Amino acid sequence: MASTTNAFSLSLSSKSNTNLSSDSNPKLNKPLNLTLRGSGSGSCELSLGRLALSRSSQLSRRVCPNATRVMDQSVGEKSSAAPTIVEVDLGNRSYPIYIGSGLLDQHELLQKHVHGKKVLVVTNTTIAPLYLDKVVDALTRGNPNVSVENVILPDGEKYKNMETLMKVFNKAIESRLDRRCTFVALGGGVIGDMCGFAAASFLRGVNFIQIPTTVMAQVDSSVGGKTGINHPLGKNLIGAFFQPQCVLVDTDTLDTLPDRELASGLAEVIKYGLIRDAKFFEWQEKNMEKLMARDPYALAYAIKRSCENKAEVVSLDEKESGLRATLNLGHTFGHAIETGFGYGEWLHGEAVAAGTVMAVDMSYRLGWIDSSIVKRVNDILLRAKLPTAPPETMTVEMFKSVMAVDKKVADGLLRLILLKGPLGNCVFTGEYDRKALVDTLAAFCKS
């Protein structure tokens, strides 16, 4: 890690010559808040339970503004109601995100996305006893031609590495899986990222399905096709863009999720509000206690709205040429905490929460936001029982060395996602006064 400080030092002293702020990129211009295809309040597609994001109308959608603002009471009911569907629009690689309660009991939902006769379920030692049988049943009931193998990985971010990935390949090869098999990721973001990367590279690519079981995975990691593993020098440095066939979010799986994990996922929910959806942030301010108390309607709404935001960003910028990077608000600082502190000590969302506070602090130092936003961010994170500062052991040098290998470094220049303007607006830019970054690091680190 120590050998990586140079690029960052460069970035602190070099003057940016690229303008990467959203102001200069028409794709990034506001408003990008979600709107729906259709042309009148009566013809809004959400009323049919389906939300489609049209590529052709990407930049000019302005329809049915209330549909996504009102809590959808049909989502998350404890019955086998039809799922809410959010479509990720990526041309011929488009896929649905099914959201609802009891979806693992609706076998046809999963089965229609299975290709071939062999399935490999990738999960871990914590989730297997809870949900593996249910998933195998969902895959095989009334479908005797399908055979299901499984591989149960050790649990934890520290196992998101090459060695663990090899266990997936070993099982796939031993089971003689061919190109027409389907990999199923059953678990949180760690399993989803690893299974997705295994699916992207096994036989140069096989089908895969995401069944996310944490808030983090249901609102963020299972959507958008980023897959990968960690390297000791940095998080998620090895991976591939690889889209699933579908994402199945059975909100009942959250019943067994520990409170700390629930809160960790909410850090990403808060992020969507801050970077692009002020109304959603305001909704969260009103409903945070309900979310923390696992109110099923509140959780289902937060998942749906988060997926809508993520789906829209991904459909506009799948490979992260600009807009998609804004989903990393707080992540550059956060990844430094995760890496510097050792994977697994702080949860991803906890590190992102502290990182968000640092990014917001820096935005304020730059004069890009007013102090009320700084306060609102602190308040909502505290209500979500998330950290608002990095661990005390983090030093300025630890931040610098990890941030130097961040994927958003280009030509030695560290680009950051910072808030700018009214709530719900951000920029992805390398054009900022380096002093603000230095001051933020100094303010949050003891040495």
Ligand X SMILES: NC(=O)c1ccc[n+]([C@@H]2O[C@H](COP(=O)([O-])OP(=O)(O)OC[C@H]3O[C@@H](n4cnc5c(N)ncnc54)[C@H](O)[C@@H]3O)[C@@H](O)[C@H]2O)c1
Cα–Cα distance, 109 to 119 (Å, whole number): 15
Range in contact with ligand X (rule: CB under 6 A) among 18-26, 65-73, 214-222, 358-366: 214-222
Calculate helix-pair angle for 278-292, 371-383, nearest 10 degrees: 30
Tokens of 68: 């996504």
324 binds ligand X (CB under 6 A): no
| Residue 335 appears among annotated catalytic residues | yes
Tokens of 307: 């997926």
Q: Which is nearer to ligand X, 333 or 364 (CB)?
A: 333
Q: Which of 155, 250, 252, 277 binds ligand X (CB under 6 A)?
A: 155
The distance of closest approach from Cβ of residue 341 to ligand X in the complex, given in angstroms and rounded to an integer, is 14
| Residue 107 appears among annotated catalytic residues | no
Q: Which of 37, 113, 118, 160 binds ligand X (CB under 6 A)?
A: 160
Contacts 24+ apart (CB under 8 A), 37-44: 37/61, 37/63, 38/63, 38/64, 39/63, 40/64, 41/66
Rounded to 5°, angle at Cα 377 from 373 and 382? 150
Cα–Cα distance, 78 to 74 (Å, whole number): 10
| Residue 268 appears among annotated catalytic residues | yes
The contacts of residue 118 (CB under 8 Å, 6+ apart) are 146, 147, 148, 149, 175, 177, 178, 180, 181, 182
Q: What number of chain residues touch ligand X (CB under 6 A)?
A: 30
234 binds ligand X (CB under 6 A): no
The distance of closest approach from Cβ of residue 135 to ligand X in the complex, given in angstroms and rounded to an integer, is 12
Q: Would you say 300 and 49 are in contact if contact means Cβ atoms under 8 Å apart?
A: no
| Residue 320 appears among annotated catalytic residues | yes
Q: Which is nearer to ligand X, 89 or 320 (CB)?
A: 320
Each residue 67-106 as x (binds ligand X by CB under 6 A) or -, in order, gives ----------------------------------------
Residue nearest ligand X (C-beta atom):
189
| Residue 376 appears among annotated catalytic residues | no
**Among 271, 331, 365, 408, which one carries the catalytic annotation?**
331
The distance of closest approach from Cβ of residue 167 to ligand X in the complex, given in angstroms and rounded to an integer, is 16
Cis peptide leading into residue 31 (ω within 30°)? yes
Each residue 172-201 as x (binds ligand X by CB under 6 A) or -, in order, gives ---------------xxxxx-x--------
Instruction: Classify each residue of 49-86 as buried b or exposed e, where b means 16 or more C-beta atoms within 10 Å of its C-beta.
Output: eebbbeeeeeeebebbeebbeebbeebbeeeebebbbb
**Among 45, 268, 308, 318, which one carries the catalytic annotation?**
268
Cα–Cα distance, 164 to 166 (Å, whole number): 5
298 binds ligand X (CB under 6 A): no
Q: Which is nearer to ligand X, 70 or 166 (CB)?
A: 166
Q: Would you say 248 and 209 are in contact if contact means Cβ atoms under 8 Å apart?
A: yes
390 binds ligand X (CB under 6 A): no
Name the 3-class secondary structure at 350. helix
Smallest CA-to-CA distance from 153 within 200, 191, 196 is with: 191
List the catalytic residues: 204, 226, 268, 310, 320, 324, 328, 331, 335, 348
The residue ranges that bind ligand X (CB under 6 A) are 124, 126-127, 130, 155, 157, 160, 187-191, 193, 213-214, 216-217, 220-221, 224, 226, 235-236, 253, 256-257, 261, 264, 347-348
